Amino acid sequence: MLGLAAAIALGGAYLVLANPVGRNQQAPTYDTAQVTQGNLQVTVSATGPITSPSNVPLSFKSSGILTELDVSVGQPVKAGQVLAREDTSDLEAQLAQAQSTFASQQANQAKVEAGVTPEQVAAARAQVNSAQTTVDSSQRSLDAVAANANST
């Protein structure tokens, strides 16, 4: 029993001497920094479906045939970017026809005013006014298509 007590005492002494707790140990060091506000960038690798945070339906003021399509499905776009161009050749032809009719009616008015009755002058003026209205309407249609093309 005395041998057992001696063995326990020697083992305890060894543990105390071989593993000194609190002696010659350095205190842990800590890094500190001032807290600041900023952007945090984190990269996440994941699998699954991707959905757009915002989908915008497109609507147009006029219908027609597209001559250019400058973007493809899924391509990012910016506000104000032209996405497509519409064929305006029909509207341009209508405008040219209306301008031609207007010029013809002005010529007819000049002929009529050269020696005809006031009723004929009034009728010729009415035709000129009607032709001018057609020119103005065609020009507004063409301008609306151009403005719509610039705003989409």
Q: pLDDT per residue over 65-124, tens digit each?
A: 888 888 888 888 888 888 888 888 888 899 999 999 999 999 888 887 777 778 888 888
Q: What is the spatial distance between Cα 52 and Cα 75, in angstroms, rounded to a whole number?
A: 11
Q: What is the spatial distance between Cα 129 and Cα 39, in angstroms, rounded to a whole number?
A: 65
Compute CA 105 distance to the chain's CA centroid, rounded to the nearest angstrom. Answer: 47
Which two three-digit tokens encode residue 81? 């970017």
pLDDT computed for residue 101 by the predictor: 92
Give domain 88-152's CATH architecture: Orthogonal Bundle (1.10)
Q: What is the spatial distance between Cα 140 and Cα 135, in angstroms, rounded to a whole number?
A: 9
Taking only the tens place, the pLDDT of each residue in 20-45 is: 555 566 777 888 888 888 888 888 78
Backbone angles phi, psi at 67, to 5 degrees: -100, -20
Q: What is the spatial distance between Cα 90 and Cα 67, in angstroms, rounded to a whole number?
A: 13
Region 40-64 average pLDDT: 77
Taking only the tens place, the pLDDT of each residue in 132-150 is: 999 999 999 888 887 777 7
pTM, whole model, 2 decimals? 0.40
pLDDT computed for residue 21 by the predictor: 57
pLDDT computed for residue 53 by the predictor: 72
